[in-house]
Amino acid sequence: MVTKKIAVLFSGSGTNLEAILQKLHGKIFGDIKIEVVMTLTNKPDAGGIVKAAKYGLTSVVMDNKKFASREEFDAALVDEIKKYDVDLVVLAGFMRILTPIFTENLRAINLHPAILPLFKGAHAIEESYKSDMQVGGITVHWVSAELDGGKIIAQKTFSRKNRTFEEWEAKIHKLEHKLLPKTIVEILKKDQ
- Torsion sign over Cα 6, 142, 183, 92: positive
Strand partners for 135? 159
Annotated binding site for (6R)-10-formyltetrahydrofolate: 70, 95-98, 110
Amino acid at 19: A
SS3 at position 112: strand
Residue in 25, 112, 141, 177 annotated catalytic: 112
Peptide bond into 44 cis (omega under 30): no
Amino acid at 74: D
The question of whether 173 is a catalytic residue gets the answer no
Cα–Cα distances in Å, from 175 out to 16, 40, 169, 170?
10, 23, 10, 9
Annotated binding site: 14-16, 70, 95-98, 110
Q: Which are the catalytic amino acids?
A: 112
